[in-house]
A and B are shown apart, each in its own frame.
Chain A
Amino acid sequence: MGVTGLWKLIEPCGKPVPVETLEGKILAVDISIWLHQVVKGFQDNKGSALNNAHLLGLFHRLCKLLYYRVRPVFIFDGCTPQLKRDTIARRQQQRNKLSNEADRIQALLLQSLAREKVVQQALGKNAELLLKSPVKRPPPSKSKNDEDDLFKLPELPALAAGQDNPDESDQDLDYTSASATSDSSFDESTARHAYNSSLQAIDVKSQNFKNLPADVRHEILTDIKETRKQSSWGRLHELPARSDDFCSFQMKRLLKRRAVQESLEQAEQEMGGHTLTYSELCDFFSEEGIVTPTAIEQSTRQISSDEHTRFLLVRDLKKKALESTKTEMKMETIEELPETKPPVDEEKPSTSSKAETVEMGTEYDADLAQALALSLEESTTKVYDEKDYDYDSDQELRLNRAQSKQLRHAAKGPARAYMIEYGGMNDEEVGNIMESTQLNDTQSLEHLLGTTVVPVDIANDSVEEAKQLSKAIEESKKSLLEDKVQIIDTDTDSDLEEVVETKASAGLEIRLDITNNLKPTNDLFADIFEEDSGKEKAADESDDDEDFIEVPESEELKIIEDSQEKPITDETSPGTEIIEVKESQEEMPSEQEENKETADTSQDKIKPDLDSILNDLKKETEAVKEIKLAVDEPEAETKPKPVLSSILDDLQKEMSAVKNIKLEQVKLNNSTIIEVSSDDEAVSKVKGNANTEEVIELCDSDDNQKQRISPNKTPSKNKSIKDFFDTSYVVKRTPDKSPVADNGTPPGTPKVPQPFYRKRTPKSDRKRAAGGSDDSDEGVSPTKRSSKASKSLFEGNDPETEPPRTVDPEELIRDAAETLKSQKTSEELQSMADNLAQERKDLEIERNRQDRMGMSISQRMSTDCQELLRLFGIPYIVAPMEAEAQCAFLNATELTHGTITDDSDIWLFGGRTVYKNFFAQNKHVLEFRAEQIEQTFNCNRGKLIQLACLVGSDYTTGIHGIGAVTAMEILASFSTTLDASSPASSGNQSVLATLVRFRDWWQAHKSTSLPPGSSARLALRKKLKNIELHEGFPNMAVVEAYLDPKVDDNRDAFSWGSPDVESIREFTRKSFGWTTSKTDDILQPVIKKINEKKIQGSIRNYFTAKSALRVQQPQVSKRVQSAIDKMSGKIDAETPEKPKKVVRTRRAKKAATEAESADVESEAKPVRPKRGKRKASTTETPDEQPSTSQPTPKPGKCPRIPDTTEIIPQRERDLEQMRLNKARAAEVMKKAAQSTKK
C-alpha cells in the first residue's frame, strides 16, 4: 500500500493530536483501506474471520467518528487504474499464496486432529485394556454382528449367482444387490459408527463447513444431531477428568448442540427441503427395522433391493454422482463415463471388457461398496488405534491430501498403483513407465487421474483427489472385470497363466481377483482360493528369492482385490469357510489354507512369470525409491543427509523395538486418520469420496494384517512374515515416492500440502528405508535382507504372534496394544494427547489467520458498507478511480479539512492534511501536514513522486535496492536548484528531469570507471552498485497518474443526515445478530453526542499564536538530514567539477551554513553535538590537524572554518603540552644519564 517506506521517512513530521480536537472537522475517509484492515484484522476468538467483518468494523468506526463528532465523507475506490492493475495482480498472488497456505494449514490441522484422535483412542484403549471394561468393546462386537449379517446375507446373491451365471448382466445385478446389502449393513453399523465418532470433530461454524452445499450440510448436521441421542458410553474418555470441569464441558456441549441446531435450520432453509435427507432415510430404515444390526439381519433382502440403501451406499462411495442418480441405471451410466475414459488413455482396453463395461461398472460399484464397508468397519474397530500413536509422524505423512492421494497408490504398492491404474490395461506401458523416472510416472499418473476426474463439484483439491481415488479404484476394478471376463471364458488356471503372461503382474493379480469374483458367482470357491493361494504360494516361493519384495506387492494387490471382492464372495457363499467379511485377515488365512491344500500345481506355472514380473517391479520400485530420495534431499532444505541419518538411527531403534506392530499401526493409523480427515473432508464436500480413500487405506491395513496372519497359517511362516514386512515396507515407501513425484511435477498437482510434505517426507522416507535397511542389517542371513529383517522383527517383537500361529487378528491387536502400553505410560499418552491438542489449536489459529489474510474485498462488501453509510446519513463518494486521489482533491479544494487514511499515496496525489492511525488502538492519531513535510524534508509533491518512482509504489515497482533514504540522497544529488527553488514547477517534465538525470548518470557510470562526479555521487554509486534500472525507468505514465489522477471534480458541499436509528437496529440485527439493546448500548452515546446542539470550540479559535512557534525540529537521521539540506540548497549542489569531498565535509558544511544562518535558534541543537564531537576527536588526535584542514581549501566556501578556528587554540595547547612533556622527558633522561655517569 502506498509508497514503500514513505511513512517511515516522514514519521517525524507526524504530530500526535487528540481525537477530540478533530470535532466538527470534515474528514474524508478512504474506506477501501479500512475494509482491508478490517477484513484481515477482525477475528473471532479462534482467529478465523468474522462474518460481515467489514460491516462490523465500519459500524464501530463510524460510531467512533460520530462520537467524536467528526464529519466523515467516505470515499470508495472506483475502478483500478491500469498502472495499479499489475500491482494488484501481485497482491492477488500474495493472497492466493496465503489462502493456499491456509489450505495447507488446514491439511495440517486435519492431521493433527487425526493424531489427536488416535492418541485419544490409544488412551482410551489403554484404559480399556487395563480395566477390561466393555466400554470400548462396541466396535468389535458390532463388527461381529456384521459378520453375522454377512452370513445371513449371502443367500440372495448366491442364489442369484447360481441362476445368473451365464447371463452377465444378471450377474451385475446380483453384484449390485449384494453390494447394496453389504453396504447397507456396514453403513448402518460400523461405517456409521466411525462416521459418527468423527462427526464430533466437525466445526459447524467453520467457513469450510458453511461452504458445503446445503443438503450435504443438512445431512451432516442431522447426523450430528442423531449422535447426541445415542448413548455416550463410547465417548466416556471425553469427559473431563476433573469434576470441576464438568459443567464447562456440559456447557460446551450444549453450545455446540445449539450451534448444530442453528446451522441445521439454516441448512434446511437453504435447501427448501427438496432432498431426502439422511436422517429421513434413517427414519425410513428404522421404520423398516433396518437400523439395528439385528434388524439388518432380518431385513437384508429388502434392503438389498431397496433404492434407499443404494443411496446410502452412494453416500459413502461416490456421494454426488449417486445422489444425483439414486438409481442403478444412472449409477451404471456414471460408471461408464470414467470407464470409457480410461480405456482411451490406455492402449489396451480389452475388447471384451468394453462390451461389458456397463456391467463391470456396476460390479465394481458393488465391490467398491463392499470394500468401503469393510474398510469402514476396520477403521471403526478401534483396536488398532492404540498402537498407532507411535507412528504419528508416519501418519502425518499420509494425512495431507496430496499424500492421501499418493496413499491410494501406495496402498496398492508403488508398482501396483501404476499397474492397476494403467498397467492393468497395458503391460508394455507398465514396463516402460516403471523404467522411466518416477517423476514422469507420477506426472502421467496425475495427468491420467486428472483426465479421468469427472467434473463433479471440484470444490477443492481433496475432492479432486478423492474423486481420482475412486476413479482409480474403478479403473482397477474395471481391469479386474476385464480380466474376469477373460477368466470367465477360460475358467482354468492355464488360462490364467496365459493372461498373466500377456499382461503385467498387475494383470496377474487382477486376474486372480477376477477369478475370485467369478468363482464366487459360480460357486467355484475352491478354485478361487486355489488361485489365491497359488498367488500367495508363488509369493512365498519367490520369497526365497530376492524377488519376494515384489511378491509382497503383488500379494498386496491381490489381497486388496480380494478384500474388496471378499464381501461378494462371502455373500455368495454363505456356507463357506469365510468367517468374517469384515475381518478380511481371517478370511485370508482361511483362503490361504485352502489354497495350500488344493493348488500348488498352478503356482508352479504362474511362478516364473510372477518372478520375472516381480523382478521388474522390484527394480522399478528401487529406482523409484532412489529417485525419490534424490529428489527429497535437494528439496528438503532443512533436512540434509546427516540429519536424516540421525533420524534414521532413531527410527531404526524404534523400528527394532516395535517393528511389526508399527507396521500395523501405521496402516491402522492411516485408516483412522483418514477416517478423521474424511470427516473434515466431508465438511468440504468430499465425504463420500474420502470414504473411498479410507477403503484403500483399510485395504492396506487389511493386507498387512492378512499377510501377517497368513504367515502364521502357512507353512512357510517366516517367508510370509517377510512378505508381510516387505509389503508393509513397500507400502510405506510408496507414499513418500509419490510426494516426491509431486514435488517434481510443479504443474497440475495440488500443491498445498507439498511444503509440509517436503519437510516430512524425507524423514519418513528415511524411516522406512532405515527400517528396511536396518532390518536387513540385523537379519541373520546376508543374502535375503528382507526376510531376515522380517524374521528379526518377528523374533524380537512378536513372539506371541509366531508361536500360536493360529493367532487371530484380535489377538495380534491386543499384543500390539500391550506393547504400546508397555512402551508408553498413560501419562505419556496423555501428554501426547495434550501436545496434539495444543498443536491443533495452534494450527487452527494459524489457518484462520491465513484465511483472513487471503480474503479479498468484494464489490458486495462495498455495497454493504454503502448501505450502512446511508443508514447513518453519511455522505460517500465512489471515486472514478483511486479513492486516495479523490480524497486529495477534496482536501485541496477545501471541501474537507483532511483525510483519514493510512495510505501514503495520498501525498503523491496532493493531500494536504492527513490523519494517520485514526483507528489504531494503541497509537496516537498523527496529524501530517503537507507544509510540514515540505518544510522538514524539502519534499514537495513532485519530489515525493520522484521518490515513489525510486522506491516503488502502487503504480510502479520502483528500483529494487533503493529505500526511502537512499532515494532521498539520490534526489538530493540530482535535483537542480531550479527544482528545489520552484516547487510550483512540478510539471511532469520537471518531475521527470531529476530521474532522467539520475538514469543518465547511472547508465554512464555503472559499467565504466568514469569519475562519478563528486564524492557524494561516489558514495551513491557504491551504494547503488547492485541496482538495476528497468526499461523505461522514469515512467511518464506513473508521474502523470499521480499528478493528474481522474477524480470527480464536483465541488458541491457535503451534507450529513441524522442516523436512522430504527433502521440501524434492524441492520445490526440482520448483519451481526445483535439485539436491540446491544445496538443501543453502542449507538446511544453516539446519538447523544450527535444531538448535542453545541460543540466545544477550541481555545485556538480565540487566541492566536503570539511568538513564532518554536517547534522542535523533527528528528531525522543524519543521512536524511544531509540530503534534505542539500536539496534545500543550504548546501550547494556539488558540481561534477569539484574535487572529491568526503561525506563528512558535507555535514560540516551544513553545520557551517547553519551557524551562519539566521535561525540559530532552531538549528543550533543539531549542530552543537556535532561540533562537540569534532572537538573531542581533534583533541585526542592532534595529528589530524593537517588532514582536517585539507578538505577546506577554499575559505569562502569552506564550512570548516568555524570549526577549525575553534579547534586550533586547543590544538595549540595540546602541542604546547606535548612539547613541554618532551622537554621534561629529555631533562629527565639527561639527569638520569648524568647520575649514571656519576
Chain B
Amino acid sequence: MFEARLGQATILKKILDAIKDLLNEATFDCSDSGIQLQAMDNSHVSLVSLTLRSDGFDKFRCDRNLSMGMNLGSMAKILKCANNEDNVTMKAQDNADTVTIMFESANQEKVSDYEMKLMNLDQEHLGIPETDFSCVVRMPAMEFARICRDLSQFSESVVICCTKEGVKFSASGDVGTANIKLAQTGNVDKEEESVTIEMQEPVTLTFACRYLNAFTKATPLSTQVQLSMCADVPLVVEYAIKDLGHIRYYLAPKIEDNET
C-alpha cells in the first residue's frame, strides 16, 4: 500500500511541468524514504533525478517498495484537473497496475479522484558518482532561465565559463556572438537574488541550449538554481523544492570532436 499526500497540488503540477518536456514516461520509485525518479531523456544526453522526501509530504505511507511507471503526459493531464490549492493524494496498492490520484478542495467539499494506468517501463538506474565539482554557481533561477533563452537564439550551444570573477555564458552563431557575464554579488541581502560562486578551478564547458532550456522549466519550483560543473563531467542543474526535496538535471557536455 502506498499513499502520499501533499497539501498543495500546485507543487506536484510544477514538478510535472519540469520533467514532462524531457521525459515522456518515467518510473516513480517509492520507498518509505520518499519518492525517487531517475530517467534519461530520449536521446540519452541528459538525466533527470527527482527526489521527494517522505517527510515533505503531509502524509506518506509506503509499505513495500513500489515502482510506478507513468506516462508523464497523462499524469500532467490529470494534474491539470486539480486546483492549485487542492490537497492531492496518490494511492496505489502493492503490485497494482493503476495509481489513484485524488484531489480534495480545501474545504473538503469537492473530492475528485482519477485512476491512471501504470506502465511497465524499462528500468535502468544509473549510478551517479559523487563528484567534487570545480565550480558551483548559485544564481536566481529566473536569471538562468532568461540567459538560456536569450543565448539559444544565437546558437545551439552555450559555453559556460566559470572563473573567479564570475560566470560567463556565451554563444556564437550565424547572427553573431552573445556574452552574458554574471559577477558574484557582494551583498547577501536578498538571498534569492544573489549570485554566488564557489570555485576550485576555472572551468569552461559547452552545453546544448536545447536541454538547458528544458531544465529551466523547473524555474517555478525554486528561486535559486545551482549549477555544478567540473571538466569533462556532466553539468548538474539543481532546483531545490522547498521542504520536499530537489530536482536535478544532469547534462552531458559537448566535447571536442577529435576525430575530424
**Given A20-B43, A1110-B122, A1097:B252 Cβ within 8 A:** yes
**Which chain A residue has the least Cβ–Cβ distance from B41?**
A1099
Query: Is B76 close to A, CB under 8 A?
Result: no
CA distance A18 to B259 in the complex (A): 22
Query: Is A1098 close to B, CB under 8 A?
Result: yes
CA distance A24 to B45 in the complex (A): 14
The 8 A CB mask of B111-147 against A (1 = contact, 0 = none) is 0000000001111111111000000000000000000
Query: CB distance A1099 to B42 under 8 Å?
Result: no
For chain B, residues 18 to 72, give those with C-beta under 8 angstroms from any C-beta of chain A. Answer: 40, 42-47
Q: In angstroms, how far is the closest chain B Cβ from the Cβ of A1105? A: 6
Query: Is B233 close to A, CB under 8 A?
Result: yes
Query: Is A1101 close to B, CB under 8 A?
Result: yes
Query: CB distance A1110 to B124 under 8 Å?
Result: yes
A1096: chain B residues within 8 A (beta carbon): 45, 208, 252, 254
CA distance A1141 to B206 in the complex (A): 65
A20: chain B residues within 8 A (beta carbon): 42-43, 45
Query: CB distance B40 to A1094 under 8 Å?
Result: no
Query: CB distance A24 to B122 under 8 Å?
Result: no
CA distance A1097 to B157 in the complex (A): 13
For chain B, residues 225 to 260, give those with C-beta under 8 angstroms from any C-beta of chain A. Answer: 233-234, 250-257, 259-260
Query: CB distance B124 to A1094 under 8 Å?
Result: no
Query: Is A344 close to B, CB under 8 A?
Result: no
The 8 A CB mask of A229-242 against B (1 = contact, 0 = none) is 00000000000000
Partner of B127, one of A1092, A1101, A1104: A1104
**Which chain B residue has the least Cβ–Cβ distance from A1089?**
B156
Query: CB distance B124 to A1103 under 8 Å?
Result: no
**Given A1094-B157, A1103-B126, A21:B44 Cβ within 8 A:** yes
CA distance A528 to B47 in the complex (A): 103
Query: CB distance A1105 to B125 under 8 Å?
Result: yes
Query: Is A1074 close to B, CB under 8 A?
Result: no
Query: CB distance A1097 to B47 under 8 Å?
Result: no
Q: In angstroms, how far is the closest chain A Cβ from the Cβ of B168? A: 17
CA distance A213 to B187 in the complex (A): 88
B121: chain A residues within 8 A (beta carbon): 1112
Query: Is A920 close to B, CB under 8 A?
Result: no
Number of interface residues of B (CB under 8 A): 32
A1112: chain B residues within 8 A (beta carbon): 120-122
B252: chain A residues within 8 A (beta carbon): 1096-1099, 1101-1102
CA distance A7 to B126 in the complex (A): 31
The 8 A CB mask of A604-634 against B (1 = contact, 0 = none) is 0000000000000000000000000000000
Partner of B257, one of A21, A1094, A1101, A1110: A1094
For chain A, residues 1091 to 1142, give those with C-beta under 8 angstroms from any C-beta of chain B. Answer: 1092-1107, 1109-1112
Partner of B126, one of A24, A71, A1094, A1105: A1105
A1111: chain B residues within 8 A (beta carbon): 122, 124
Query: CB distance B233 to A1102 under 8 Å?
Result: yes
Q: In angstroms, how far is the closest chain B Cβ from the Cβ of A896? A: 14
Partner of B44, one of A1056, A1058, A1094, A1098: A1098
CA distance A1192 to B250 in the complex (A): 55
Query: CB distance B208 to A1107 under 8 Å?
Result: no
CA distance A1097 to B207 in the complex (A): 10
A1103: chain B residues within 8 A (beta carbon): 47, 126-129, 234, 250
**Given A1098-B252, A1099-B40, A1112-B122, A1106:B257 Cβ within 8 A:** no
**Which chain B residue has the least Cβ–Cβ distance from A1092?**
B257
**Which chain A residue has the least Cβ–Cβ distance from B121?**
A1112
B125: chain A residues within 8 A (beta carbon): 1105-1107
B128: chain A residues within 8 A (beta carbon): 1103
Partner of B254, one of A21, A71, A1095, A1106: A1095
CA distance A1104 to B128 in the complex (A): 7
Partner of B123, one of A18, A1092, A1093, A1107: A1107
Query: CB distance B254 to A1099 under 8 Å?
Result: no
**Which chain A residue has the least Cβ–Cβ distance from B46?**
A1099
B43: chain A residues within 8 A (beta carbon): 18, 20-21, 1098
B44: chain A residues within 8 A (beta carbon): 18, 21, 1098-1100
Query: CB distance B256 to A1097 under 8 Å?
Result: no
Query: CB distance A1097 to B253 under 8 Å?
Result: yes
B233: chain A residues within 8 A (beta carbon): 1102
**Given A1107-B124, A1110-B123, A1094:B45 Cβ within 8 A:** no
The 8 A CB mask of A16-38 against B (1 = contact, 0 = none) is 00101100100000000000000
B42: chain A residues within 8 A (beta carbon): 18, 20
Query: CB distance B157 to A1106 under 8 Å?
Result: no
- Which of A18, A1103, A1104, A1107 gathers most chain B CB within 10 Å? A1103
CA distance A1112 to B124 in the complex (A): 11
Q: In angstroms, how far is the closest chain B Cβ from the Cβ of A1113? A: 10
Query: CB distance A1094 to B254 under 8 Å?
Result: yes
**Which chain B residue has the least Cβ–Cβ distance from A1110?**
B123
Q: In angstroms, how far is the closest chain A Cβ from the Cβ of B253? A: 6
CA distance A1107 to B233 in the complex (A): 21
CA distance A1058 to B120 in the complex (A): 44
Q: In angstroms, how far is the closest chain A Cβ from the Cβ of B120? A: 6
**Which chain B residue has the least Cβ–Cβ distance from A1088?**
B174
A1098: chain B residues within 8 A (beta carbon): 43-45, 252
**Given A1103-B128, A1110-B123, A1094:B206 Cβ within 8 A:** yes
CA distance A1107 to B126 in the complex (A): 7
CA distance A852 to B217 in the complex (A): 50
A1109: chain B residues within 8 A (beta carbon): 122-124
**Which chain B residue has the least Cβ–Cβ distance from A1165?**
B120
Query: CB distance A1093 to B257 under 8 Å?
Result: yes
Q: In angstroms, how far is the closest chain A Cβ from the Cβ of B18? A: 18
- Which of B127, B251, B252 gathers most chain A CB within 10 Å? B252
Query: CB distance A1104 to B122 under 8 Å?
Result: no
A71: chain B residues within 8 A (beta carbon): 259
Query: CB distance B256 to A1093 under 8 Å?
Result: yes
The 8 A CB mask of B184-220 against A (1 = contact, 0 = none) is 0000000000000000000000101000000000000
CA distance A1075 to B156 in the complex (A): 29
For chain A, residues 755 to 782, give those with C-beta under 8 angstroms from any C-beta of chain B. Answer: none
Q: In angstroms, how far is the closest chain B Cβ from the Cβ of A195? A: 59
CA distance A1095 to B121 in the complex (A): 29
**Which chain A residue has the least Cβ–Cβ distance from B43?**
A20
**Which chain B residue has the least Cβ–Cβ distance from A69?**
B257
CA distance A20 to B45 in the complex (A): 9
CA distance A1092 to B260 in the complex (A): 10
- Which of B206, B251, B257, B260 gathers most chain A CB within 10 Å? B260
A1058: chain B residues within 8 A (beta carbon): 260
**Given A1096-B252, A1112-B120, A1106:B127 Cβ within 8 A:** yes
CA distance A1109 to B123 in the complex (A): 6
CA distance A1110 to B260 in the complex (A): 37
Q: In angstroms, how far is the closest chain A Cβ from the Cβ of B209? A: 11
**Which chain A residue has the least Cβ–Cβ distance from B260?**
A1056
B254: chain A residues within 8 A (beta carbon): 1094-1097
B45: chain A residues within 8 A (beta carbon): 20, 1096-1099
Q: In angstroms, how far is the closest chain B Cβ from the Cβ of A503? A: 88
**Given A18-B43, A1095-B257, A1098-B44, A1105:B124 Cβ within 8 A:** yes
**A-B contacts, 6 listed (Cβ < 8 Å):** A1094-B157, A1099-B234, A1100-B40, A1102-B233, A1103-B128, A1110-B123
11 A-B pairs besides A18-B42, A1094-B157, A1104-B126 with CB distance below 8 A are A18-B44, A71-B259, A1058-B260, A1095-B255, A1097-B252, A1103-B128, A1103-B129, A1103-B250, A1104-B127, A1106-B126, A1112-B122
8 closest A-B pairs by beta carbon, nearest first, are A1106-B127, A1103-B126, A1094-B254, A20-B43, A1107-B125, A1097-B252, A18-B43, A1110-B123
Query: Chain B: residues with CB nearer than 8 A to chain A?
Result: 40, 42-47, 120-129, 157, 206, 208, 233-234, 250-257, 259-260
Query: Chain A: residues with CB nearer than 8 A to chain B?
Result: 18, 20-21, 24, 71, 1056, 1058, 1092-1107, 1109-1112
